[in-house]
Structure 1
Amino acid sequence: MNKEVENLINEILSDFYLKTDVKYKIHNSVNLSLVRYFNFRLKYIAIVPRKIMISKELLKSIENNNSLNILSLIQIFNKASKGLDINPFQSKQSFNSNVHDSLFNDWGIHHLHISHEKATDQDFFNRRTGPLLFVRFTNDTAYFIDIKPHNDKNVWSNRDFIRILKNNWPESIERFEAGFRIYPDLDDSDIGILRNKGYLFGINVDDKSYLLLGHGQATSGDNMMASRLANNVWRWVGEHIDLIQNNKSLFKKKLIEQLYMN
């Protein structure tokens, strides 16, 4: 690949990370740098208004948890509805392009801390909390699934999240149905083990089976969609390589558009 293009991509990515205060590493492989960049972009919650959907199970969890800060939850719902920034409720690790969120990669589910307080006025992220709010975001809808304790190691592979989506809004994950029973029939513990090893697999939830709910996870831990998005960039570069010689500034502008930075 043209060395000038590689240097330009590294320059654009470095400028982006510095402006957004995202932890990053420029890798020897420019392709890996691109994949890790798209890993972050996929985890980042786009700031757009969304329809708010709250599951019956979440409402029950709220009702049964007297220590829960209900006002904080309502504020999160309102922010999501109005298109305000939800990212401060994410884990700090979500803004590290080299840290993988296997729950998100596998099932497309975010986890949010529910505090509105910050350690200092300069902090971007809110304080961490024991209970976590699990949400599946689409371009126009936020599906608030349930609240679970942060310190439960089994929570991250709990099929109840998918069960709640299936029982409350089956149409939201209908396109991920496999149409056949998946074998072996993995339990929650199996899912956690295989996910940590980087395996790609489908799951059975009651009478339904699902594949690639979160685009899938490669053995490297990267989101498989991140790899496809990086390949799209390389495809565009190959089709417009002559432009860098004729009009470098225009090439850079168009490349930034391919990276969804404008």
Structure 2
Amino acid sequence: MNFEKDLEEIVATMFKHSGGRNPQQLSPYRQFARLFDHADQQVPEKSYTVHLSNEVQKRAQRYPVQGLLQEVITCLEQGRTIRPYLSNDVARINSNDRLLRHWRIKHLHLQTVSTADKEGFVERSNLLLFFRVEGNSAYLIDILPHPKRRSKIEWSNTELVNIVDRNWPHLHQLMPSSTPDKKELNDAMYACLRSHNINAMVSTERGSVFPGGGTMSTGESFRAHTEWMFLRQYIERIQDYVAHEYPKIFGYVAAYASAIRLDEIHNTGCTIFDGASQRHVFIKDAEVNSWFEIPFPSMKLKHGLFITHHSA
């Protein structure tokens, strides 16, 4: 019985079926991190409370794109998918959205869904809506011309962070005793730091803030690293529980060490398989007094199988 190895096999299978390349060159952690960061690029289908910044309302009148903006807002409020509007990078597991990983900001194309191509994405637009999703809330930040694809500087627009801070300061962590920095970094400096996976505070009118993202030195998000640690601790507790409670779980005592495997992980527990009795048993988190929320709102972890949905 080795649930840690089973977990690694589950992750490897998910990675492979998600289009991940050269899995043998990546550790289980890095495969998991790629899966996590890829899932983080998606927007789960559920009803959101939509918040509009002052800047978005002004831009919508200026361009004008009120109709297109309302189309997106309606999808968010009614729990319909907005995947067609997102960057087509969301379909690639190896994409690296540094704007999201560092500042928690996503973007979508303001174009009507009737222009969707065979892949399901709307016609690429010259105007992008930058937004942030936290829990059941969607924060619409600004509408801006599409940055040049290879322009790291334009994708490091600190004004986006300033807009979030002016409209929804609770989304940022203000550093203690912080004041606005007269020697603040410019967009080009942030772009350079990001390209080397270096994290930095952003100077706003209130002071230096932490937008809530950040990456490890290898490029994976902080959140992916943290979730991997929690998941491994959770699996360790499950294995300890099974090792001590095997007779209670299966109703008899047998040589089980090599016959039990971790089969599935759910938001409320996990399923284990006993080879000796050929039985699957679901173990609730409450039984183990341990909880772990699956970090993939669009995925289901399953031994030897990968199932994906675009809904939460």
The answer to whether the superposition gives a TM-score over 0.5 is yes
Alignment root-mean-square deviation, CA: 2.5
Q: Which residue of 1 aligns with 2:192?
A: 193
Q: Which residue of 2 aligns with 1:9?
A: 11
Cα distance in 1 for residues equivalent to 2:136 and 2:7 = 35
For 2:84, what is the secondary structure of its paired residue? helix
Cα distance in 1 for residues equivalent to 2:178 and 2:212 = 19
Is 1:252 the counterpart of 2:263? The answer is yes
Q: How does 1:110-129 map to 2 (within 5 A)?
A: 110-115=106-111, 116-120=113-117, 122-129=118-125
Q: Which residue of 1 aligns with 2:77?
A: 81
Q: Is 2:50–2:137's contact at 8 Å kept on the other side of the alignment?
A: yes
Q: Which residue of 2 aligns with 1:143?
A: 139
Give 1:63 shift: 1.8
Give 1:4 shift: 4.7
Give 1:3 shift: 4.5
Cα distance in 2 for residues equivalent to 1:185 and 1:69 = 33
Equivalent residue letter for 1:142: A
Q: Is 1:89–1:126's contact at 8 Å kept on the other side of the alignment?
A: yes
168 and 7 in structure 1: CA distance in 2 versus 1, 3 angstrom threshold: closer
Moved more, 131-140 or 239-248: 239-248
Cα distance in 1 for residues equivalent to 2:202 and 2:110 = 29
Give 1:25 shift: 2.7
Q: Which residue of 2 aligns with 1:178?
A: 175
Gaps of 5+ in 2: 243-256, 271-291, 301-312
Q: Is 2:100–2:213's contact at 8 Å kept on the other side of the alignment?
A: no
Moved more, 153-162 or 137-146: 153-162
The TM-score normalised by the length of structure 2 is 0.71
Is 1:71 the counterpart of 2:67? The answer is yes
Task: Specify which of 217, 224, 227 is matched with residue 225 of structure 2.
Answer: 227
Q: Which residue of 1 aligns with 2:286?
A: none
Show CA shifts across 1:205-254 (max 9, x none): 1232112x243122222111111112222222333346584543xx2123
180 and 196 in structure 1: CA distance in 2 versus 1, 3 angstrom threshold: farther
Moved more, 152-161 or 238-247: 238-247
For 1:253, what is the secondary structure of its paired residue? strand
Cα distance in 2 for residues equivalent to 1:172 and 1:224 = 17
Cα distance in 1 for residues equivalent to 2:87 and 2:109 = 7
162 and 5 in structure 1: CA distance in 2 versus 1, 3 angstrom threshold: closer
Give 1:179 shift: 1.9
110 and 5 in structure 1: CA distance in 2 versus 1, 3 angstrom threshold: closer
Q: Which residue of 1 aligns with 2:28?
A: 30
Is 1:166 the counterpart of 2:165? The answer is yes
For 2:147, what is the secondary structure of its paired residue? coil
Give 1:33 shift: 0.7
For 1:100, what is the secondary structure of its paired residue? coil
For 1:112, what is the secondary structure of its paired residue? strand
The TM-score normalised by the length of structure 1 is 0.84
Q: Is 1:92–1:125's contact at 8 Å kept on the other side of the alignment?
A: yes
Q: Which residue of 2 aligns with 1:20?
A: none
Q: Determine what percentage of the aligned residue pairs are the same residue.
A: 21
Give 1:126 shift: 1.8
- When the two structures are aligned, how many residues end up with a matched partner? 248
